[in-house]
Amino acid sequence: MKFSFNEKLFDNLFVLDMANNHQGSLDHGKRIINEFAKRIKCKKDINVAFKFQFRNLDTFIHKNHIKSSFNKHIHRFDSTRLDLQTYQQLFNTIKDNKLITCCTPFDEQSVDHILDMNFDIVKVASCSSRDWPLLEKVAESGKPVILSTGGLTYNDIDDVVSFFEHRGVDFAIMHCISIYPTPNEDCNLANIRELKLRYPGKIIGWSTHEDPNNYEPIQVAYSMGAKIFERHVGINTKEHKLNKYSSTPDNVDKWIDSFVRAKELIGHSDRIENFSEKESILDLKRGVYAKKDISPKSYLKLDDVYFAMPAYKNQLTSSEWNDSIKLKQSVKKDKQIKLSDISFKKEEKKILKDALHTIKAILNKANVILNSNFEVEYSHHYGVKNFYKYGATIINCINREYCKKLIVMLPNQKHPAHFHKRKEETFQVLYGTLTIFVDGKKHILSPGQTCLIQPGVWHSFSSNESCIVEEISTTHYNNDSFYKDKKINSVERDERKTFVQNWGRFQI
């Protein structure tokens, strides 16, 4: 089974770390792999990796300390050592079960062994995450890397992230607490959210050492944005007992099921209309009823109606009530006012008012903060009624010898082809994706990318999704835009643009 980073190898990846729980026994190691694989094969939409730990013990441990009690780990490492031929057999067992292979090297020679055996992923342990000679070797391996961060400060993590990025390594970052087992109060799972913000585009995970019977942390970790989950695994026997932070097959079964429940509960962030939900809400809404016999009139007033349950399907409800509703036919007292009985005044300002709320939300989502000193320009070159199709919202921040604007595009909005005689401008996308045609050539800009537009060059732009663009230019002049569509040029500027101060609360 061959994986590449682009195949979402790290997405919903469960790493089962055998560590020394094979207890130095080939048969016991195989049993662990096979029993966990049997439980895991029925799980859907997850990737599963089995992980070894490699140490070249003859050089990793100082010769004077091989039999020493100076460090509690040395005896465990030495007493459970396996040779490479045995590890190869365990590796083959993982592959026979169609699982992903992963290994943590603790010295440079172990990286060579990982490459010789062709593991899918290299894991860097927390204790090695600033071991620069080892990290250089790992970076040269060309393998995808998972980096644990137990005991590191954010400045430490910044260093390692920069190190791997400069060397072109595909890597994920694991929030990890190196306390065995980890009590709830030390999990600090909010770190996952912080890591996602600090290193955008990087997959973040949770390397866990809590009590194996504690299934809450994985749910919180997933809700914070974790995509990789790692824990130690093994099997209890009369001869071999597990430590307090290693999971049995039953533990891992429940652990993954807990993740699946969290994933189901969190769902997606889209607000999709649900028929059952809509029906349920309608049952609790108030409908609009005639307070008296009403003849067709210009516009309904509050004195003409009252609001009460139940609300019928196709009846005007209190949610839709406003002062621009015109009655088309008579309605008797206490009768429901149906949607077919009325028409709404088409108010152009309402189109911009409704768009304004969405524009503010887009800026908030992109974390673009404005001060209180700006002008907003709603461009509607083909009329306000077509604003959602042909339009843009331009926030004028500065206009001196230099100029700064923010351009907000709503989904599927287009801005017509034009050029400037005097102004030179550079677009930089802050949020979303912008499609821009410059001198007939198409460019698709993602966040951070820029595009230079020189005077006299035709350009037009659009966005299939919400988009925010920062425009930096020379001075803006009001008579300096010339459109390819001559109809636009023939319309006065004030007719094809609406100008307000700040958000124009009392102007629109």
Measured over the CA atoms of residue 154, residue 156, residue 159 and residue 165, the dihedral's sign is negative
Residue 448 sits in the same domain as residue 385: yes
134-to-91, 216, 279, 445 alpha-carbon distances in Å: 23, 34, 61, 38
**Domain holding 283: CATH number?**
3.90.1210.10
Looking at the structure, tell me whether residues 319 and 359 fall in a common domain. no
Residue 71 within any structural domain of the chain = yes
**Residue 201 contacts by C-beta under 8 Å, 6 or more apart in sequence?**
none
Is residue 508 in a domain?
Answer: no
User: Rounded distance, CA 489 to CA 293, Å?
Assistant: 51
| Residue 506 domain flag | no
pLDDT given at position 222: 97
**Can you give 415-480 as a three-state secondary structure string?**
EEEEEECCCCEEEEEEECCEEEEECCEEEEECCCCEEEECCCCCEEEECCCCEEEEEEEECCCCCC
Which residues are CB-neighbours of 34 under 8 A, at least 6 positions away?
A: 93, 97
Residue 120 lies in a domain: yes
pLDDT at 4: 46
Residues 145 and 159 placed together within one structural domain of the fold: yes
User: By residue range, what is the domain housing residue 393?
Assistant: 349-501
Same-domain pairing of 195 and 309: no
Q: Domain containing 464 — which CATH number?
A: 2.60.120.10
- Considering the domain boundaries, does residue 252 fall inside one? yes
DSSP readout, 327-370?
Answer: E-S-B-TT-B-BGGGEEE---HHHHHHHHHHHHHHHHHHTT---
Q: In the prediction, which pLDDT does 314 show?
A: 93
Same domain for 88 and 205? yes
Q: In the numeric block, which tokens belong to residue 215?
A: 């299934």
pLDDT at site 8: 79
Residues 199 and 290 in one domain: no
Do residues 184 and 257 both lie within one domain? yes
- Length of the chain as a residue count: 508
Query: For residue 395, what are the contacts with CB-CB under 8 A and spacing of at least 6?
Result: 370, 374, 375, 376, 377, 405, 406, 407, 408
Examine the domain organization and report whether 238 and 332 are in the same domain: no
Q: Is residue 24 part of a domain?
A: yes
Same domain, 289 and 392: no
Residue 128 near residue 174, CB atoms below 8 Å: no
* pLDDT per residue of the chain (508 residues) written in tens, 0 to 9: 444 454 578 989 999 999 999 999 999 999 999 999 999 988 888 999 999 999 886 777 777 777 766 677 776 777 788 999 999 999 999 999 999 999 999 999 999 999 999 999 999 999 999 999 999 999 999 999 999 999 999 999 999 999 999 999 999 999 999 999 999 999 999 999 999 999 998 999 999 899 999 999 999 999 999 999 999 999 999 888 899 999 999 999 999 999 999 999 999 887 777 778 888 888 899 999 999 999 997 789 999 999 999 999 999 999 999 888 999 999 999 999 999 999 987 677 788 988 999 999 999 999 999 998 899 999 999 999 999 999 999 999 999 999 999 999 999 999 999 999 999 999 999 999 999 999 999 999 999 999 999 999 999 999 999 999 999 999 999 989 999 999 999 999 989 999 999 887 777 7
- 121 shares a domain with 27: yes
Whether 240 maps to a domain, the answer reads yes
Q: What is the pLDDT of residue 1?
A: 42
Look at residues 40, 44, 21, 41 and name the one whose alpha carbon lies nearest to residue 31: 21
Q: What gap in Å lies between CA 139 and CA 145, rounded to an integer?
A: 8
CATH of the domain at 123: 3.20.20.70
Asked whether residue 507 is assigned to any structural domain, the reply reads no
Residue burial 237-250, b: 16+ Cβ < 10 Å; e: rest: eeebebeebbbbbe
Q: CA–CA distance from 241 to each of 76, 125, 203, 256, 476 (Å)?
A: 13, 24, 34, 23, 75
Same-domain status, 17 and 140:
yes
Domain boundary among 205, 234, 266: 266
Last residue of a domain, one of 344, 375, 404: 344
pLDDT at 69: 67
- pLDDT for 6: 47
The DSSP bridge pattern shows strands 325-327 and 467-474 to be unpaired
Buried b or exposed e, range 346-375, using 16+ CB within 10 angstroms: eeeeebbeebbeebeebbeebeeeeeeebe
- Tokens 């023939």 correspond to 490
Per-residue pLDDT at 7: 52
Q: Are residues 295 and 389 in the same domain?
A: no
The residue to which tokens 């995808």 are assigned: 144
Domain count, the chain: 3
Residue at a domain's end among 200, 232, 266? 266
499 burial type by CB count under 10 A (0-12 exposed, 13-18 middle, 19+ buried):
middle
Residues whose CB falls within 8 Å of the CB of residue 350, separated by 6 or more in sequence, listed in order: 324
Q: Dig out the tokens for 47 from the structure.
A: 């990737």
